[in-house]
């Protein structure tokens, strides 16, 4: 019989055999972010469409071509979030977090949705770890956010990643830069792609981000923003570099970085991998000092970054980074007979309440099949319980790694030992406990 349907193109399932890798990346990122003072925030998967028009920018490819937008039953235009910053900024304003002590530091793990051509490292549903730091204009905040991303990548064992930084100015100096860019690209307008001809009138900086070989080739000789920075911007950029130098965080200045969203100002950065080909950016971010005002709040300079989890995982696997082993079964109870099954169920429930991963047969397998199953799920120890074991009060504990067997007594008082803090909750030393205590099971 054929399947009724399959996963939608551009999405993927994370299966049980892979989910521990995702959990490791997510938990590592959140843990390090907490060390930097960032607390977790969770926002809805969909928002009113105008939020993204105002924040991301109506002239960006994201808004014009890639958003999943629809009318709900009330006739309201709703969009699945294409990125995380806009929702976090909306939540900040809606709940008055901007009235608390500044800066407000938040972190999140979120799914995002963009209608793009699916390819390796670029899906229509993808996931990000992101941070936002609201309420600081200081250059050391830029360096701190960059150092957070760097620290996460190092902790995950991601190698072959380089930090690229650029400075795209404030509204004052950017206006002069736009004039210079427009003059440069006007002379080559006929060679530009259709999209970039439109960008020339709306936002010529977007041309620098075009993936067309022709347009990117033309952009090679375009004016550079760094030559148009005002004194305040020059001072800010210099301070960011000084902080990175002091922390010995290596970087290279890349004048081609403009980022794909219109809300960015001043510092922008990307972490680029040598293992992903065309989808080489694993983390990108920067400053967005005017975004909160654009959404109806008071001036609140802010910054952040987003890290693509799918791409991080791809890099780690390409580099042969080892992941922690997923948690497995600590004790498997193999039962023979109805009364033995009830006893195994009781013991498994009690052990689980104490933090021990315990399993027993729920299908009705024979003993041989149960032992094979215990081996397949990686059970650390097995205990066989049958009518004879119930009658004598004795059983044998088998170490599935070494094959060593230990005689034990079935006595409920073992639970007091297992729940006692004298042993590790993960049962790392359960064999020793079971073999040395006189009051067991």
Look-up: residue for tokens 């009781």? 346
First to last CA, the chain: 48
Span 305-343, pLDDT tens digits: 999 999 999 999 999 999 998 888 989 999 999 999 999
Task: Identify the pLDDT of residue 328.
Answer: 87
Span 11-26, pLDDT tens digits: 999 999 999 999 999 9
427 pLDDT above the threshold of 60 = no
**Model-level pTM?**
0.86
Task: Identify the pLDDT of residue 181.
Answer: 85
Task: Please answer whether residues 262 and 57 qualify as being in contact, where contact means their C-beta atoms are separated by less than 8 angstroms.
Answer: yes
* Mean pLDDT, the chain, integer: 88
The DSSP letter of residue 322 is: P
SS (HEC) of 240-298: HHHHHHHCCCCCEECCCCCCCCCCCEEEEEEEEECCCCCCCEEEEEEECCCHHHHCCCC
What torsion do the CA atoms of 296, 268, 226, 141 make, to the nearest 10 degrees?
A: 80
How distant, in Å, are the alpha carbons of 38, 151, 291, 311 from that of 30?
Answer: 8, 12, 25, 17
Q: Once rounded to an integer, what is the mean pLDDT over residues 143-168?
A: 95
Angle subtended by helix axes 309-318 and 16-35, to nearest 10 = 110
Q: Once rounded to an integer, what is the mean pLDDT over residues 407-414?
A: 66
Look-up: residue for tokens 């065309």? 278
Task: Identify the pLDDT of residue 432.
Answer: 38
The Cα 359–Cα 377 span in angstroms is 10
Backbone phi and psi for residue 71, each to the nearest 5 degrees, phi listed first: -95, 130
Span 65-74, pLDDT tens digits: 889 999 999 9
pLDDT band at 58 (very low <50, low <70, confident <90, very high): low
The Cα 297–Cα 89 span in angstroms is 10
Specify the pairing of strand 104-113 against strand 125-134.
antiparallel
The Cα 219–Cα 366 span in angstroms is 71
CA torsion through residues 362, 365, 367, 369, sign: negative
Task: Please answer whether residues 185 and 192 qualify as being in contact, where contact means their C-beta atoms are separated by less than 8 angstroms.
Answer: yes
What are the chain's domains? 16-170+230-318 (3.30.930.10), 331-436 (3.40.50.800)
Which residue, 280, 246, 251, 247, is CA-closest to 267?
251
Q: Once rounded to an integer, what is the mean pLDDT over residues 153-176?
A: 92
How distant, in Å, are the alpha carbons of 179, 285, 297, 302 from that of 290?
Answer: 21, 15, 10, 8
Q: Which helix (H) or strand (E) holds 60?
A: none
Q: Count other Cβ atoms within 10 Å, centred on residue 28.
A: 18
The Cα 211–Cα 228 span in angstroms is 24
Span 170-201, pLDDT tens digits: 988 888 888 888 888 888 888 888 888 888 88
Q: Once rounded to an integer, what is the mean pLDDT over residues 413-430?
A: 41
SS3 17: helix
Task: Identify the pLDDT of residue 260.
Answer: 62
Task: Identify the pLDDT of residue 249.
Answer: 96
What is the per-residue DSSP string for 348-414? HHHHHHTT--EEE-SS---HHHHHHHHHHTT-SEEEEE-HHHHHHSEEEEEETTT--EEEEE--TTH
The Cα 367–Cα 283 span in angstroms is 51
Q: Lowest-pLDDT range, 103-112, 125-134, 311-320, 407-416?
A: 407-416
Which tokens belong to 304? 């952040």
Task: Identify the pLDDT of residue 106.
Answer: 98
Span 35-54, pLDDT tens digits: 999 999 999 999 999 999 88
């Amino acid at each position: 019989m054929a399947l009724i349907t399959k996963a939608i193109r551009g999405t993927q399932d994370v299966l049980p055999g892979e989910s521990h890798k995702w959990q490791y990346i997510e938990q590592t990122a959140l843990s390090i972010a907490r060390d930097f003072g960032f607390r977790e925030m969770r926002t809805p998967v969909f928002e009113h469409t105008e939020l993204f028009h105002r924040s991301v920018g109506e002239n960006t490819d994201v808004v014009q071509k890639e958003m999943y937008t629809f009318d709900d039953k009330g006739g309201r235009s709703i969009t699945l979030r294409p990125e995380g910053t806009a929702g976090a900024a909306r939540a900040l304003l809606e709940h008055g977090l901007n009235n608390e002590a500044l800066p407000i530091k938040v972190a999140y793990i979120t799914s995002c949705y963009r209608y793009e051509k699916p390819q390796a490292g670029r899906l229509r549903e993808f996931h990000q770890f992101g941070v936002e730091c609201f309420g600081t204009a200081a250059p050391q905040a830029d360096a701190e956010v960059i150092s957070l991303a760097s620290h996460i990548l190092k902790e995950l064992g991601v190698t072959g990643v380089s930090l690229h930084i650029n400075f795209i100015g404030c509204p004052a100096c950017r206006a002069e830069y736009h004039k210079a860019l427009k003059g440069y690209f006007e002379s080559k307008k006929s060679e530009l792609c259709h999209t970039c001809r439109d960008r020339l009138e709306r936002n010529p900086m977007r041309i620098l981000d075009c993936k067309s070989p022709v347009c990117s080739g033309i952009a090679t000789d375009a004016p550079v923003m760094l030559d148009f920075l005002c004194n305040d911007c020059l001072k800010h950029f210099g301070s960011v570099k000084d902080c990175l130098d002091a922390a010995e965080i290596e970087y290279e200045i890349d004048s081609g970085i403009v980022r794909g969203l219109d809300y960015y100002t001043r510092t922008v950065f990307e972490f680029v991998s040598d293992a992903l080909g065309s989808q080489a950016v694993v983390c990108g971010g920067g400053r967005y000092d005017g975004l909160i005002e654009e959404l109806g709040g008071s001036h609140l300079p802010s910054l952040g970054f987003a890290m693509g989890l799918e791409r991080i995982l791809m890099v780690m696997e390409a580099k042969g980074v080892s992941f922690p082993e997923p948690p497995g079964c600590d004790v498997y109870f193999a039962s023979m007979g109805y009364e033995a099954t009830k006893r195994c169920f009781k013991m498994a429930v009690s052990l689980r309440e104490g933090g021990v991963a315990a399993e027993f047969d729920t299908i009705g397998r024979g003993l041989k099949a149960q032992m094979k199953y215990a081996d397949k799920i990686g059970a650390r120890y097995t205990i066989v319980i049958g009518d004879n074991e119930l009658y004598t009060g004795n059983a044998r504990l088998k170490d599935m790694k070494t094959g060593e067997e230990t005689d034990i007594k079935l006595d409920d008082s073992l639970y007091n030992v297992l729940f006692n803090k004298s042993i590790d909750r993960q049962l790392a030393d359960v064999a020793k406990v079971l073999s040395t205590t006189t009051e067991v099971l």
